[in-house]
Structure 1
Amino acid sequence: MSISYHLDQLPSNVLSLSGYDFFQFIRTTLGEPEAKLLNKISVKTTSSLLLIEDPLDIFNQDIDDEELDTLKEQLCFKMKNDKFLIKPGVTYGFVSLKQALKENLNQQLKHSTKRKQQKQNVNTSSISSLSTPIQEVTTSSLSLSEHKSHVLNLIKKWCNENKESLSLDSFQLEEGIDFTLNIDFEQNSVAQATIKCKCGKVISLCKNNQKIQVSNFYKHLQTIGCSRMQEIKKAQKQIILQQQLQSTISVSQFPASQSCVSPMQIRTDEAINTSAAPNINLVPTSQSKNNAKRRIVSEPERSFSTKRSRT
């Protein structure tokens, strides 16, 4: 079921429409031929429509194109002299739509300027009471640096929350190493952002309430086609294997033993024993006494034997 829009009640995000959403808006506001005409002349965003003075001027050009001729028959009257006159309702429709879009743009710019002034006038004593308006200003009109900081904080938070599910002990994606963030402003101050992953894939980021969302990038990281995530997981496994190997080598070099004695202690004990004992041959006590007795008895016997031999 199509939804028709009144020009005095345009969608809040009408100035940031593009692609399918933009053409769907034109279909429900002006009609199917008007949507096909804008697609034919490559007007695919609201900002592009505002920059074109008159999209119907294409019919005044001498162009040989069957699709354009078909649209001319639908949006124009063929006159008797074989010329075409654009239907007044078609012209009025485009003029009225562009005027409504310009008024909507001016209102948003005034609203944004007013809120910025309110934010600058807020003092420290009234921060708590004005926290909601300040938050609305931040949401509706962020600067380029604020958009970038917002996206990087979202990526950091996602890494911390998903490192366990990805089986990674430490997981942080760094800009310039793992991805490249690109944020630009269109002429109607609408931010457009893309992320180029290290694997080479370029991902367009969507928006929610003028804030850039990173869900498309998260989905890409979890696909098999992201070679950068495969490299990160492989590097993590190699670190774990190296830690396990080092732990195994440390245990094997110092085996546990309850009965072993330190080699240093053995050498110390031997040195103590060697220095305490004199370098002499020890003779048992009993043997020394026997030798002494033999020497005492042998002297008289030797003397007596001499006397007998003289006699």
Structure 2
Amino acid sequence: MSISYQFDYLPSNVLTLSNYDFFQFIKNTLGETEVRLSAKLSVRTTSSFILIDNPLDVFNEDIEDEELDKLKEQMCFKTKNNKFLIKPGVLSGFRSLKQALKDELSQQQKHPKKKKQQQSSAYVLKLIKKWCYENKENFDLQLFELEEDTDFTLNMYVDHNSTIQGTIKCKCGKVITLKIKLIKQQQQSMIPVSRPALSQPNTSSIQLLDNEQTAEQRTSHNSSTSSVQSTYSAKRRITSQSQQYSSTKRSRT
């Protein structure tokens, strides 16, 4: 008896998930019990999930642990001779998800552009998460989170110049254009959120552009240019008048 799972959609940053985000992914994909088992085994990242042989093998070991015993009762059938048989759906779920993640990893290794796209998507999502955390007090909220494909849609792609292009479309209809220039020397899989996004010399620079911002930037630039030109012209007039006064004084002497 076997149950086949189909994973038609995986998050754009699925291979870089860790801790809370990873457990949320497992919960939405497999279930709450599978999350508790992963946490018990200290499997907290997607990479660890892919590398571990079979998390269900722990039930075959003679381990004295109350929490594991409860998980075994929920995820297994107990036979009449006091043995445990892992439920087919549980076993198939873990196997199917692991295979889907391996396939995704293989595709990224074959297509470097897709890998860059995935890394940039993960970077942008972490920036959004950081922004929510830093601004929750401004909205007087205990919990403030924006979920991808629920509150907004993130679309990223790599153009022919190896530049990451993309958009963030809010649920309200607002669209923000992203442009990320990739530094060829940077081969890191992920950029820590704690580092400044725009000032580091070896990190990706992100430009957020929409019509309103563009207009404001142009107006500000034009005003600054006019101010500088006026100040420069005034200085030239003062200098010229000073030179004329000195020349007249010398001629009288």
Q: Comparing both structures, which one devotes a greater share of its residues to helix?
A: 1
Structure number, greater radius of gyration: 1
After TM superposition, the score normalised by the length of structure 2 is 0.48
After TM superposition, the score normalised by the length of structure 1 is 0.40
The answer to which structure, 1 or 2, has the higher relative contact order (CA under 8 A, 6+ apart) is 2
